[in-house]
Every structure is written in C-alpha cells, then in structure tokens.
Amino acid sequence: MVGMRKITATIGTAALLATPLSLVAASPAAAADREFRCAGADVDFDVEKDDGRFEVDVDIDDAKPGSKWRIVLRHDGNRFHKKVHRADNDGEIDIDKNRPNTNGKDVFKLKVKRIGGPKACTRTITKR
C-alpha cells in the first residue's frame, strides 16, 4: 500500500511539473517568427499591447555599419511608417512606434529591405 502511494505521488508531481514546462516551450516558437535574418542582419519585430495601445518595435542588429535599409510598417493594411534608415556604427537600427487599438483583430506587417541587397523580407503579427 505504501509503495502504491509513493508511485501515485511521484506521477502526480511529475505531471504538475511538466505542465508549466510545456507552456514555456510554446513561447520560443512564437518568438522565432518574430526574430529572423534578412540580408545578413538579425531582425526582431515585436508588437505588445500596453494601456490600450500597441507598441511596435523593430530592431536590426549585426548589419553592416552605414548600410541603408528601407523599413515599411503597416497596421490593418494602412502604412504608418516608410523610411530609409542608416545602420549606426554598431550596425544597429531601432524603431519604436505607438499605434491605437482598433476594433477586432489588429494586423501588423513589417517589410525590410537592404538598399542594394537581396529581396525584401516580410513578417506579419496578428493581435486580438
């Protein structure tokens, strides 16, 4: 009887510990869609809701210092940012924008292209 209780307790504990780990494991897969390489640089695209508004962040790292990048951002199909940015001495570009929350799903699209480089890279994030 005592052995059976130990086994049951061990299985229950293992199940409780495994549940949070499986939830955490799903998070990096979603992040992988937002972190990608484009024309030799690392791009991180993130949209977070804060106080009823969206914070849209685009970070480009490891780009060639001084290289030019055209960055276009859209919210529900409407362009709200289109500009050519120059990478700083560390090969970085940082863009931070705020957008209002709209009715229904909010769809954000990023298009990044190094001027004179290969084809553009795009990513889409949908928030509910």
Give the model confidence (pLDDT) of 40-83 as tens digits.
999 999 999 988 899 999 999 999 999 999 999 999 999 999 99
- Provide the number of structural domains found in the chain: 1
Judge whether 21 lies within some domain.
no
Domain that holds residue 81: 32-127
Judge whether 53 lies within some domain.
yes
Q: What is the pTM of this model?
A: 0.75
Residue 40 sits in a domain whose CATH number is 2.60.40.10
Confidence of residue 128 (pLDDT cuts 50, 70, 90): confident
CA distances to 16, 17, 45 from 111, rounded to whole Å, are 42, 40, 10
For the beta sheet containing 78-86, the strands, ordered from the edge strand earlier in sequence to the opposite edge, are: 78-86, 68-75, 106-114, 121-127
Judge whether 25 lies within some domain.
no
Confidence of residue 25 (pLDDT cuts 50, 70, 90): very low
Judge whether 89 lies within some domain.
yes
In the chain, the amino acid numbered 50 is D
With residue 98 as reference, give the H or E element that holds it: strand 93-100
| Phi-psi label, residue 11: left if phi above 0, alpha if psi -120 to 50, beta otherwise | alpha
φ and ψ of 78, to 5 deg: -95, 125
